[in-house]
């Protein structure tokens, strides 16, 4: 997979959730350029071009990050906090996709700069609709940040919602 031309980064530790999500995305033809990382540490390596992702460049961020909150090693909120406080990564759109409808998680996510917060519906039809809507919106409707210049400059342009 070409990680420089990535549409979606899916941060998901659970195999079942991952499969369901990929199934839904694939159905909507949104899964062509998708990368899945399985924990928070790997996600951070990807964002900051470290370890397995050292060849990656900050210049080619994903168009959308689907971030679960409950993750091994470094949890989703920590990952969110780090990438949203770093000028090189802060403009990347992050949608929290979680089982939790906990108010504190929701509030914390928005406070840390999440671009959207979505509770995964139990009903699979609803889940698929949700995934479809998100994909269409962020990959098709939404105007992604300009890839030239410095990321922090680009960040000023991108204010979704």
Among 3, 23, 48, 86, binds other proteins (CB under 8 A): 23
Q: Are 49 and 56 in contact (CB under 8 A)?
A: yes
HSE-up of 107 (CA within 13 Å, CB side)?
3
CA dist 125 and 133 (Å) reads: 12
Q: Rounded to the nearest 5 degrees, what angle is found at the Cα of 9, between the Cα atoms of 8 and 11? A: 140
121 binds other proteins (CB under 8 A): yes
Among 1, 32, 52, 124, binds other proteins (CB under 8 A): 124
Please identify, among the stretches 39-47, 79-87, 124-132, 151-159, the one whose residues bind other proteins according to the rule CB under 8 A.
124-132
Q: How far is the CB of 60 from other proteins (least distance, A)?
A: 32
98 binds other proteins (CB under 8 A): yes
Q: For tokens 């470290």, name the residue.
A: 50
Q: For tokens 């899916």, name the residue.
A: 10
Please identify, among the stretches 38-46, 54-62, 75-83, 97-105, the one whose residues bind other proteins according to the rule CB under 8 A.
97-105
| Site for other proteins, residues 24 to 63, rule: CB under 8 A | none
161 binds other proteins (CB under 8 A): no
Distances from the Cα of 148 to the Cα of 2, 29, 141, angstroms:
20, 27, 20
> 92, 13, 81: which is closest to 56 by C-alpha?
92
Footprint of other proteins on this chain (CB under 8 A)?
Answer: 14, 16-17, 20, 23, 70, 98-104, 106-107, 120-125, 127
């Amino acid at each position: 997979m070409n990680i420089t031309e990535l549409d979606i980064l899916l941060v998901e530790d659970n195999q079942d959730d991952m499969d369901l999500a990929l199934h839904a995305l694939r159905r909507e033809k949104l899964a062509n350029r998708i990368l899945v990382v399985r924990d928070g540490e790997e996600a951070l390596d990807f964002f900051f071009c470290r370890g397995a992702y050292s060849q990656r460049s900050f210049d080619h961020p994903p168009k959308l990050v689907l971030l679960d909150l409950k993750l091994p090693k470094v949890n989703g909120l920590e990952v969110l906090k780090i990438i949203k406080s770093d000028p090189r990564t802060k403009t990347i759109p992050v949608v929290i996709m979680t089982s939790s409808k906990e108010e504190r998680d929701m509030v914390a996510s928005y406070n840390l700069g999440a671009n959207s917060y979505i509770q995964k519906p139990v009903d699979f039809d609803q889940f698929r609709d949700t995934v479809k809507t998100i994909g269409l919106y962020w990959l098709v409707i939404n105007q992604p940040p300009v890839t030239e210049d410095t990321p922090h400059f680009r960040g000023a342009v991108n204010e979704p919602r």
